[in-house]
Amino acid sequence: MAKRKSKFVCQSCGYETPKWMGRCPGCNEWNTLVEEVVKTTATRGNWASSPQSTHKPERISQIKSQDEPRIKTKMGELNRVLGGGIVAGSLVLIGGDPGIGKSTLLLQVSSQLASSGLDILYISGEESTRQTKLRADRLGIAADQLYVLSETNLVDIANQIDALKPSFVVIDSIQTVYKEEVTSAPGSVSQVRECTSELMRIAKQNNIPIFIVGHVTKEGSIAGPRLLEHMVDAVLYFEGERHHTFRILRGVKNRFGSTNEMGIFEMKEEGLAEVLNPSEIFLEERSQGVAGSTIVASMEGTRPVLVEIQALISPTSFGNPRRMATGIDHNRVPLLMAVLEKRVGLMLQNQDAYVKVAGGVKLDEPAIDLAVAISIASSFRDQTPNPDDVLIGEVGLTGEVRRVSRIDQRVQEAAKLGFKRAIIPKKNMDGWNPPKSLEVIGVQSVQEAIRVTLGT
């Protein structure tokens, strides 16, 4: 006989407790515990009477391996982030801020796949079919094999997938889908967990790739339990500044490819367009002949990207100087300023520092340290660096410039865009042939790099 009992579940982290508490012990958030009714069935635990599984363990050496066929989209940037295309039977989660372009991207991909002869099912729980049609008209989408459904009941969604047997499915969004057996409201931890588990079963059994859209919290993480990201095969974040037209699709998790890939799009009136050469886009408004501006060659997955780093150093008006950073980890700015003060002798302790990566892109690799340090030193001394220089290298606490990976690809990208000189770690000088049109200079310390770039 079924018994009913209630539990309290945190809507931020999924922590469960039999009684209500004002503060969640799991994530320390206030007023996030919500009561949910759970049905339990009293059964006897008799393992001997349970049916035996038909699956038996196999030797890994005897399992036949084969390349999984991938569905290629017409967006090369999306294919790169996914590891070469969409894998059949995969479950992919896309998250991003409201209005960033998640639905636009998936509707464009659905149209491209439908125009190639595949049956595509686009399920929207937030818009009616007429509203989706209005957005499709604005994007110029009119594919006969693109089917649109406005539904939030998971049972009806599963029945429509089983009846149509599409080649690709989009769920927009997972927070609107509900399962009748779960008593909590749509978007709760239990509903998101159960609905995602059922969609994963549908994707694996029918070998259908399913893309689900996930809302994000004010901290930028995907709403719902962290278990949601563990269940899916790939997690993609759609990023971008609201005041910039560029959007960045970044892979956070991918079972079928690299997690460091980045795809860049530009939002236009007719939808999202690929940016095939992002380095030219990020450098088109570059400031030349101005102190505090340097160029760095950063690796985003397998692609080198040249970005401008700007620094502004000015005397402080407060007791404690300000340290602000946009596009890089704000903790790296005071660290590099401490290295410049201790190893180079720049008195920065009474200076405000503002560091920015131009173009709205975010960089998190250590190879940008040298460019940030030279930008700070350039602005402090009010000396303009050579505009034809590109700087690459990691800076240690003792002031040394350490080697970085894939130096040849970074320098090749700089040479392709017309730069004349590259300042790189001296340990990276051997083992590769630099391009003839570009001079490569190896440095061992930040002081030596400042002497080469600023002339002092």
Residue 73 tokens read as: 């989209």
CA distance 75 to 71: 11
Amino acid at 142: A
User: Is residue 369 annotated as involved in ligand binding?
Assistant: no
**Any binding-site annotation on 100?**
yes
Q: How far apart, in whole angstroms, are the C-alpha atoms of residue 151 and residue 112?
A: 23
**Can you tell me the distance from the alpha carbon of 169 to that of 289, in angstroms, rounded to the nearest whole number?**
51
In terms of Cα–Cα distance, which of 142, 17, 83 is closest to 301? Answer: 83
Here the tokens at position 25 are 């012990």
Integer Cα distance of 282 and 280 in angstroms: 6
Q: Is 16 exposed, middle or buried (0-12, 13-18, 19+ CB in 10 A)?
A: middle
Dihedral through CA 181, CA 186, CA 189, CA 192, nearest 10? 80
- Is 319 marked as binding a ligand? no
∠195-239-174 over CA atoms, to 5°? Answer: 10
Residue 377: left if φ>0, alpha if ψ -120 to 50, beta else—which one? alpha
The gap between the terminal CA atoms of the chain, to the nearest Å, is 84
For residue 339, give the amino acid letter. V
How far apart CA 177 and CA 152 sit, in angstroms, is 4
Q: Which amino acid is at 241?
A: E
Find out whether 292 is annotated in a ligand binding site: no
DSSP H/E element including 300 = strand 293-300
DSSP state of 381: H
DSSP output for 118-135 = --EEEEESSS-HHHHHHH
268 annotated as belonging to a binding site for a ligand: no
In the structure encoding, which two tokens stand for residue 225, read together? Answer: 């339990």
Question: Is 257 marked as binding a ligand?
Answer: no
Instruction: Tell whether 301 is in a known binding site.
Output: no
Is 442 annotated as contributing to ligand binding? no
Q: Are 397 and 448 in contact (CB under 8 A)?
A: no
Q: Binding site membership: which residues?
A: 96-103
Q: Binding site membership for ATP: which residues?
A: 96-103
